[in-house]
Amino acid sequence: MRLGLKAGAGLLWLAASLCGGSNGASAQEVVDWPIHDNGLNQVVQWDHHSYIVNGERLFVFSGEVSSRTSIVVPELWRDLLEKVKAAGFNAFSIYNHWGYHNPTPGVLDFDTGAHNFTSIMTVAKELGIYLIIRPGPYVNAETNAGGFPLWLTTGEYGSLRNDDPRYTEAWTPYWSEISKIVTPHLVTNGGNVLMFQIENELNGQWVNIPNRVLNPPIANYMQLLQDSARENGIDVPLAHNAPNMRGFSWSKDFSNATGNVDVVGVDSYPSCWSCNLSECTGTNGQYTPYLTQDYYTYFTIQSPSQPNFLPEFQGGSYNPWGGPEGGCPGDIGADFANIFYRDLIYQRVTAISLYMMFGGTNWGWLACPVVASSYDYSSPVSENRIIGSKFYETKLLTLFTRVAKDLTKTERVGNGTGYTTNAAISTSELRNVDNDAAFYVVRHAYTPSNTNEAFKLSVKTSQGSFTIPQHGSSIAINGHQAKVLVTDFAFGEKTLLYSTAEVLSYIVVDGREVVALWLPEGEAGEFTVTGVTSAEVVGAANVADFAAYPGETNVTVAYTQKKGITLVDLADGSRVVLLDRTAAYLFWVPTLDNDPFAPANNTVFVQGPYLVRSASLNETDRGLDLRGDADKETTITVFASASLCSLTWNGKKLEILSRDGNTFTAKIDGPPKFELPALGPWKVHDSLPEIAAGYEATSDSWV
């Protein structure tokens, strides 16, 4: 974790001083960016646009899951990772703590109890979620000595984090062993470990950045770590997480110097990594709630032929001594998740890992003095593993990035306030370089603004340029919100020509597409689907002002979103699901297998429960078996194959209340009622008779 960043003038100075020395290109240039690999295999590749796994582009949406939890109960990993995957994430990351595994010189423990972390990698494979391993040797993470064993800090091993032979001899046994343990679980060996991070938050490659004057002790140290990892079997990309945008270290695009990794990223905590905001002013400057930062310029200079990658982006803040229970209040909740994570897409980021997704509790004296026992971190999954609005709000975007395949190969062709009819709104236009599909990210031009704004948006589509919406309403940005709006968005064999509602997800069921769109309650929406010419509401309409406008080859639908879920059937039997935010929060897209890419023809929709952990087909009963959690009796809506004969919830067969083609409803029970038993009879003995007013020091008083 740590160290936010203030870019601004520093980046402009560096850009000028480099005099065009980087490999960057303006957004308007057509560049044939090279596809890189590590020279060992082509299982995981990368380029300017995104990561590529087994030939398929991947928008990496990851979250850090604290290894502090495994130290107490490794069996809890499955619960946590099921929640991470249910939230739409396709990856997670973990730190490994050198001191925990190497408590004294010459003693390594990767076997006893929770020291054996292989179950984490095994469960990741079973669930179908990628893993980013971050073994240090230094990790920070608000742990004692940043993860170093305390025996290392005596001075006997030098100044540390350099190529001092004493320090090298100290880390080599731990580093070699953890590399060997991880190797069988790499994606190159059939596992799910996608990346291996070298060190953490270590600038210092340069004595002088503009003149590229190397700092050999630190550069050699980074190279020694990489060489050792490779020698011990690690053949996935080696990455690094820079602490801020000032160091320009370890990028092969920036230099060909010693110590460079395959892919470099940067971490950022724009709203402070601590609930005590004064801890961040030296790095971030004066705190302004909801003020976003410029990463796009930094990546253009530092790593233009690599994905825009944030190995740590703020998922919350740690709670210092005396801080509020449950983490920081206010401005790092659901609204933060909405605007800041969409702003990363505004800046063409295609690889994100939130720190933290789950923080948990500090056990075993691992915490450093700045934090107490709680490491809740205001995370989407709270310390007690409950999920709430921040989890649900984040899910609205992660589910979208999972199906927005064209988002993985875009350029930003423009940005600014000229796209809309309202100068208070800024737009970033990302356009796929192969098929011209576009993503328009709209937000306040001054992101701290909390005003309600209405506007129309100028878009360019395969059927021409025009302003949306076309039928009288407006797009709304209300308060601390942002939106990602699409044009020429492919879903199955169909295309959304445009939509002023955000896409949540889509599936393909029995050869027919089902696409889910969401809007806050009370806002107007409009979308056009190509290839069909009619649309009608099915059943109860939780929308107002519904109107369908048939065209020669398209149909346009306009509506105002009300509370709940509405089904709209298209002429060929495909279906559009319209949801307000509350209904979208409880909308789940479980996969039917363990493919992290979650193919649309092997997933289902479930709306209603507190949490859906998994879905699987039961071939014997031709049924769909759902697992999840319910906080109350709930009617659920399931979108799955019309050939299904049964539904189960946690092994209990459900009565199907209604079915309409590929849409079913059923009712699930709430949690069982629990009543405390009557305790007694009690046996009591006074252990302090001497405090009674009538006490006398006789032997009887002690009997």
Helix axes 76-86, 118-127, angle to 10 degrees: 40
Sequence ranges of the chain with CATH classification 2.102.20.10? 413-582
Q: Are 62 and 315 in contact, with CB atoms under 8 Å apart?
A: no
Task: Provide the CATH number for the domain formed by 413-582 in this structure.
Answer: 2.102.20.10
DSSP state of 661: T
Task: Give the other-Cβ count within 10 Å of 199's Cβ.
Answer: 22
Q: Determine the angle formed by the axes of helices 216-231 and 165-182, rounding to 10 degrees.
A: 30
- The distance of Cα 542 from the centroid of its chain, to the nearest Å, equals 31
Cα 605 from chain centre: 20
Residue 61: CB partners within 8 Å, gap ≥ 6?
88, 89, 90, 91, 352, 398, 401, 402
Spatial separation of the C-alpha atoms in residues 501 and 499, rounded to whole Å? 5
For 108, the token pair is: 């390594």
Q: How far apart are CA 427 and CA 439, in angstroms?
A: 10
Which among 580, 562, 578 is positioned nearest to 570, based on CA atoms?
578
Q: Which amino acid is at 672?
A: P
- According to DSSP, residue 701 is labeled G
Q: How many CA atoms lie within 13 A of 360 on its CB side?
A: 24
* pTM for the predicted model, two decimal places: 0.93
Query: Cα(448)–Cα(482) distance, rounded to whole angstroms?
Result: 12
Strand stretches in 261-419, DSSP E: 263-268, 309-314, 351-358, 410-416
- Nearest one of 365, 369, 391 to 378, comparing CA atoms: 391
Which residues carry out catalysis?
A: 201, 312
CA neighbor of 480 nearest in space, from 352, 332, 583 = 332
Give pLDDT, residue 8: 43
E strand or H helix that includes residue 194: strand 193-197
CB 412 within 8 A of CB 27: yes
The three-class DSSP label of residue 329 is: coil
Q: Which two tokens stand for residue 114?
A: 């929770």
Q: Where along the chain do the CATH 3.20.20.80 domains lie?
A: 9-403
Query: Which of 634, 572, 628 minimizes the C-alpha distance to 604?
Result: 628
Contact yes or no for 92/358 (Cβ under 8 A): no
Q: With helix as H, strand as E and coil as C, how does 131-153 read?
A: EEEECCCCCCCCEHHHHCCHHHH
Dihedral sign for Cα atoms in the order 148, 150, 152, 154: positive
Go through the chain and tell me how many residues it has. Answer: 703
**3-class DSSP state of 86:** helix
Please give the C-alpha separations between residue 445 and each of 72, 166, 412, in angstroms, as whole numbers.
Answer: 46, 52, 17
For 505-560, the DSSP string reads EEEEETTEEEEEEEE-TT-EEEEEEET---EEEESS--EEEEEEEE-SSEEEEEEE
What pLDDT is recorded for position 507? Answer: 99
Mean pLDDT by 10 residues, the chain (703 residues): 44 43 44 96 99 99 85 86 99 97 97 93 98 98 95 97 98 99 99 99 97 98 99 99 96 98 97 84 84 97 98 93 72 95 99 97 88 91 96 99 99 98 99 99 98 99 98 96 99 98 99 98 98 94 94 97 97 97 99 98 99 96 97 98 97 97 97 90 87 77 54
The pairing of strands 351-358 and 309-314 is parallel
9-403, what's its fold?
Answer: TIM Barrel (3.20.20)
* pLDDT value at residue 365: 83
- Residues 488, 391, 127, CA angle at the centre, nearest 5°? 80
